[in-house]
A and B are shown apart, each in its own frame.
Chain A
Amino acid sequence: GDSVTQMEGPVTLSEEAFLTINCTYTATGYPSLFWYVQYPGEGLQLLLKATKADDKGSNKGFEATYRKETTSFHLEKGSVQVSDSAVYFCALSRGGGADGLTFGKGTHLIIQP
Chain B
Amino acid sequence: NAGVTQTPKFRILKIGQSMTLQCTQDMNHNYMYWYRQDPGMGLKLIYYSVGAGITDKGEVPNGYNVSRSTTEDFPLRLELAAPSQTSVYFCASSFEGGGTEAFFGQGTRLTVV
Partner-B contacts on A (CB < 8 A): 4, 32, 36, 41-46, 49, 51, 89, 93-101, 103-106
The residue in chain A whose Cβ has the minimal distance to the Cβ of B54 is A98
What's the least CB distance linking A8 to chain B, in Å? 9
CA distance A105 to B42 in the complex (A): 4
B79 at the interface (CB under 8 A from A): no
Of all A-B residue pairs in the complex, the 10 with the closest CB atoms, nearest first, are: A32-B99, A43-B104, A98-B97, A103-B42, A51-B99, A100-B45, A105-B42, A44-B104, A103-B43, A46-B101
B56 at the interface (CB under 8 A from A): yes
* A99 contacts B106, C-beta separation under 8 Å: no
Contacts of B88-103 to chain A: CB distance below 8 A: 90, 92, 97-99, 101-102
A95 contact set on B, CB distance < 8 A: 98-99
* A99 contacts B56, C-beta separation under 8 Å: yes
B48 contact set on A, CB distance < 8 A: 98-100
What's the least CB distance linking A22 to chain B, in Å? 15
* A99 contacts B45, C-beta separation under 8 Å: yes
Chain A interface, >50% SS class: loop
Chain B CB within 10 A, most for which of A4, A36, A42, A101: A101
Q: Among A42, A51, A94, A106, point to the contact of B106 (Cβ < 8 A).
A: A42
Q: Among A32, A45, A105, point to the contact of B104 (Cβ < 8 A).
A: A45
* B90 contacts A43, C-beta separation under 8 Å: yes
B74 at the interface (CB under 8 A from A): no
CA distance A105 to B58 in the complex (A): 17
Chain B 15-34: CB-based contact to A (< 8 A → 1; otherwise 0) = 00000000000000001010
A-B contact pairs, 17 of them (CB 8 A): A43-B4, A43-B104, A44-B102, A51-B99, A89-B43, A95-B98, A96-B98, A97-B97, A97-B98, A98-B31, A98-B50, A98-B98, A99-B58, A100-B45, A100-B58, A100-B92, A101-B43
* B104 contacts A49, C-beta separation under 8 Å: no
CA distance A99 to B42 in the complex (A): 16
